[in-house]
Amino acid sequence: MNQFLRCMDCGEGFMKTPFDQCPEYEYDPNHPYEPAQVIKRDDFQRFLTTHHGHRLEYLEIIENSFVSDKNYLEPVKTSYLKATNSKKEKFVIKRIREKIGEELRYQVIPGGYLLECTGVEVQSEEITKKLEMEFRMHPFSETKISKFLRLYRRIIRGIDLKNLERIPEEPSHPLEEFYKMDDRSLFYLLRNCRNIFMGVEYSAIEDFIYDHKDHGVLLLKARYRIQMIEEPEAKEEAAPTVIPAEVRKVIKKE
């Protein structure tokens, strides 16, 4: 609570305590064993000096609203958090780091964000690898593998994610999610496989499909994109400078 301070005049912000609810690990590659992202008193002092006389307010960060455009372990990236102020106005906190070793910057934008699905895909590369590995003794021909992939892609074309079950597997990328194919797709996949695989090969691919449809390589991968919804902030009357009590204490110590 009360860990994020926003300057209403500049649209910048300051995170007072390390944000410990987001599912990622901030670390310094030069000192991998040191606790990451320690906020120094000086940084806070500097923020207060820069924004001296400006209107400041605390924002409350909305739990589990963390999303980022890159892999969780990638240190150079832009991340987004949702927050509200005491008047329940909504904001997006954009956390930016452009270079390794550079300090995190926070930009505060009135509004929210949506995650928009940009497509659902078959994990072709992973499926191919798995098929090659599991059937090393009696491999399927390349033609059959590519026919199988083409068939699976055709079956899921235009599929509606709303009808699919999301698999709570830990994705390595915040903008990816995995879904299980529905029974109808499974039925079509098995039936059409009869045109590609015969006899023993059909039994083998059938087992493979049942083994991997609920987890692993036959899961469908959905990709998302962060879409910002900016909302112009309500015009403020010339309000007196809002300085939270805690900040006043720090300023007095100067």
Pick from 2, 9, 139, 154: which binds Zn ion (CB under 5 A)?
Answer: 9
Does the footprint of Zn ion cover residue 108 (CB under 5 A)?
Answer: no
By C-beta, is 7 or 189 nearer to Zn ion?
Answer: 7
**Entry field: residues in the chain:** 254
By C-beta, is 119 or 240 nearer to Zn ion?
Answer: 240
CB 17, min distance to Zn ion, A: 21
Pick from 3, 10, 180, 216: which binds Zn ion (CB under 5 A)?
Answer: 10
CB 46, min distance to Zn ion, A: 12
Specify the 3-state DSSP secondary structure of 247. Answer: helix
CB 5, min distance to Zn ion, A: 10
CB 112, min distance to Zn ion, A: 22
Number of residues lying near Zn ion (CB under 5 A):
5
Cβ-count burial of 51 within 10 angstroms (0-12 exposed, 13-18 middle, 19+ buried)? buried
Strands 105-122 and 220-230: antiparallel
Residues 132 and 231: their CA atoms lie apart, in Å, by 51
Does the footprint of Zn ion cover residue 214 (CB under 5 A)?
Answer: no
Binding part of the chain for Zn ion, among 7-15, 72-80, 83-91, 186-194 by CB under 5 A, reads: 7-15
Does the footprint of Zn ion cover residue 7 (CB under 5 A)?
Answer: yes
By C-beta, is 13 or 75 nearer to Zn ion?
Answer: 13
DSSP state of 133: H
By C-beta, is 10 or 243 nearer to Zn ion?
Answer: 10
In three state form, how does the secondary structure of 11-75 look?
Answer: CEEEECCCCCCCCCCCCCCCCCCCCCCCCCHHHHHHHHHHCCCCCEEEEEECCCCCEECCCCCCC
By C-beta, is 7 or 181 nearer to Zn ion?
Answer: 7
Q: What one-letter code names the amino acid at 100? A: I
Six-digit token string for 201: 């090969």
Residues within window 12-71 making contact with Zn ion, judged by CB under 5 A: 51, 54
By C-beta, is 9 or 207 nearer to Zn ion?
Answer: 9
Residues 43 and 53: their CA atoms lie apart, in Å, by 18
Residues that bind Zn ion (CB under 5 A): 7, 9-10, 51, 54
